[in-house]
Amino acid sequence: MRLKKGQILYIDNQKYTVLNMIEFQETTWIWQEYEILNEKNEHKWLVMEEEENKKVQYTIFEKYRGNIDTNDIEFTIEDKSYELYEKGTASVKDYFGNADVDKFETCVYYEYRTKDKTEIIAIEKWQDETEKSIGYNIPHEKIQITEEYDKIKINNSIKKNKMGNIFCFIFVLLFFILPIMLSLFSGLFVNKSIQKYLEKATTKYTYITSVTNNTNKKKAKVYESSFSDIDGTVKDIIDGVPEGITDTIDANPDTEADGIGLQTNNEYAYIYQENGKIYVQVSSKDYVKSSGTMYHSRHHHYYHNTYNSIRRSTKYSNYATSARQRSVNSRTSSGGGTSSGK
């Protein structure tokens, strides 16, 4: 969904008018950035990005005038710690209004988030200027997009007049329809990212630190596993990302003690043991290709050799095939289909 110039929207019951828009594209990913003006004559920016499940994510920004070094992976502002969440190069796909851009013009963007992901600092580096802004995500219930305010009043009136019917519908939905729908669509949206799985499985994996690659500022994240051995950790990750794992590699064909490597289309994770604890270091493949370092340096040799090896682990390859088949069968029997990530 794209907004139009002059369109009215309400954020936290405050009225805004759409002035300008820039539509960005990075590979297949597309999002819009709107300049909006409220009744206090304050200029803000609304970013609309369609997520994997087709739901739109809304984020509102205002200008930030502090100093930020984009070479930093982490920094603290007013007792809040921000960490680099995303970086890339985007091009202008389209625009309208008084936007000072040209089609196909590019910028390098940086997105920093607080650890609880509630606040965001965004930086855009264009050829002749750098723009900085600070903002936060907006829940869907706090934003209303409309052409006229009267439409909102009419809708609210209709809702009040039909409140009894709504309560009745909610009762039927919760106790009859929802359980059936959950059964039908369980497993529909399949996670294919090791990083996302480790972030969500907080009872099994504890975030330890980030390791930065000084060559290109990319980083890997390190987690401590709650499992007592490499085998249990590897199998759990495969079960958590059954349709994402593309390769399983032995660091040493004679023993698992030196570690196991797992790959998805975009990631590389290395599972190893150090001082009686099991660790998982996960990153993009670009991090490894540019001589990425290890959290425990003595594993550096096996870490890279495993990534570059063509020696597949028969044991875990067979396990991954079975896990993938179980996942597909489960979705098929539930009436689901496949979905792909970003």
Please compute the mean of the pLDDT values over residues 175-192 and round it to a whole number.
57
Tokens representing 104 are 């196909």
Q: Confirm whether 226 is domain-assigned.
A: yes
| Residue where a domain stops, chosen among 123, 145, 167 | 145
At 324 the pLDDT is: 87
Percent of the chain whose pLDDT exceeds 90? 53
Please check the confidence at residue 70 and state whether its pLDDT lies above 50. yes
pLDDT band at 118 (very low <50, low <70, confident <90, very high): confident
Q: Which residues, including other chains, have CB under 8 Å from residue 197's CB and lie 6 or more apart?
A: 191, 237, 240, 241
Q: Confirm whether 151 is domain-assigned.
A: no
Please name which of 226, 340, 216, 213 lies closest in space to residue 280, comparing C-alpha atoms: 226
- The letter for the amino acid at 231 is D
At 165 the pLDDT is: 66
- The letter for the amino acid at 13 is N
The phi-psi region of residue 78 (left if phi > 0; otherwise alpha if psi is between -120 and 50; otherwise beta) is left
| Residue where a domain stops, chosen among 145, 171, 186 | 145
Q: Confirm whether 175 is domain-assigned.
A: no
Please compute the mean of the pLDDT values over residues 295-305 and round it to a whole number.
88
The total number of structural domains that make up the chain: 2
Write the secondary structure of 121-174 as one string of H (helix), E (strand) and C (coil). Answer: EEEEECCCCEEEEEEEEECHHHEEEECCHHHHHHHHHHHHHCHHHHHHHHHHHH
At 190 the pLDDT is: 61
* Domain hosting residue 50, numbered range: 8-145
Do residues 136 and 212 share a domain?
no
What's this model's pTM, rounded to 2 decimal places? 0.46
Do residues 321 and 252 share a domain?
yes
- C-beta of residue 132 within 8 angstroms of C-beta of residue 121: yes
Cα 68-73-76 angle, rounded to 5 deg: 55
Range of weakest confidence among 56-60, 76-80, 127-131, 248-252: 248-252
Average pLDDT, the chain: 84
| Residue where a domain stops, chosen among 83, 117, 145 | 145
Do residues 129 and 210 share a domain?
no
Do residues 202 and 113 share a domain?
no
Tokens representing 339 are 């979905």
Please check the confidence at residue 90 and state whether its pLDDT lies above 90. yes
Q: Confirm whether 162 is domain-assigned.
A: no
Please check the confidence at residue 178 and state whether its pLDDT lies above 80. no
- The letter for the amino acid at 230 is I
Do residues 119 and 205 share a domain?
no
- C-beta of residue 260 within 8 angstroms of C-beta of residue 234: yes
At 319 the pLDDT is: 93
Please compute the mean of the pLDDT values over residues 182-205 and round it to a whole number.
75
- The letter for the amino acid at 162 is K
Tokens representing 19 are 């002035």
